[in-house]
Amino acid sequence: MAEVEETLKRIQSHKGVIGTMVVNAEGIPIRTTLDNSTTVQYAGLLHQLTMKARSTVRDIDPQNDLTFLRIRSKKHEIMVAPDKEYLLIVIQNPCE
């Protein structure tokens, strides 16, 4: 149990990482390092996007599954790792 906490701490303290959050299957954030409004916004939008992406991948081949989703924008990169029940979202600025 502590391992996961440590991992999340490490990720948060990694170079360029702006924020991390854990979202459950219904799109409700469980853990976050950002402020509430931003978190809720990210959680809602990314949850839908991840569901859509996963549905797409699996529709093409049901034996396949989505491993992670990366959205690189001008300002930063949003990385989403879906799990069976949870969603881990990390926002990083890679070029710092």
Partner 1 sequence: MPPKQPPRRQSINAGRGTRKRDEDSGTEVGEGADEWAQSKATVRPPDQLELTDAELKEEFTRILTANNPHAPQNIVRYSFKEGTYKLIGFVDQLAVHFSQVGNLIPKDSDEGRRQHYRDKLVAGSQESAKVVLSEAEILEEEEESKEAEAEAGSQTDVPAAEAAEKVTQEELMTPKQPKERKLTNQFNFSERASQTFNNPLRDRECQMEPPPRTNFSATANQWEIYDAYVEELEKQEKTKEKEKTKTPVAKKMGKMAMRKMTSMESQSDDITKVTQAAKIVERMVNQNTYDDIAQDFKYYEDAADEYRDQEGTLLPLWKFQNDKAKRLAVTALCWNPKYNDLFAVGHGSYDFMKQSRGMLLLYSMKNPSFPEYIFSSESGIMCLDMHVDHPYLVVVGHYDGNVAIYNLKKPHSQPSFRSSAKSGKHTDPVWQVKWQKDDMDNNLNFFSVSSDGRIVSWTLVKSELVHTDVIKLKVEGSTMEGVEGLQLHTVGCGTAFDFHKEIDYMFLVGTEEGKIYKCSKSYSSQFLDTYDAHNMAVDAVSWNPYHTKVFMSCSSDWTVKIWDHTIKTPMFIYDLNSGVGDVAWAPYSSTVFAAVTTNGKAHVFDLSINKYEAICNQPVVAKKKNKITHVQFNPIYPIIIVGDNRGHVTCLKLSPNLRKMPKEKKGQEVQKGPAVEIAKLDKLLNLVREVKTKI
Instruction: Enumerate binding residues for partner 1 (CB under 8 A).
Output: 1, 3-5, 7-8, 10-11, 14-17, 20, 22, 24, 30-31, 55, 58-59, 62-63, 67-68, 70, 77, 79, 81-88, 90, 92, 94
List CB contacts of 92: < 8 A, sequence separation 6 or more.
14, 16, 17, 18, 76, 77, 79
Q: How far apart are CA 8 and CA 21, in angstroms?
A: 9
Number of H helices, E strands in the chain: 2, 5
Nearer to partner 1, 37 or 67 (CB): 67
Least CB distance to partner 1 at residue 38 (A): 18
What would the two tokens of residue 33 be?
Answer: 């390092």
Least CB distance to partner 1 at residue 25 (A): 11
Least CB distance to partner 1 at residue 26 (A): 12
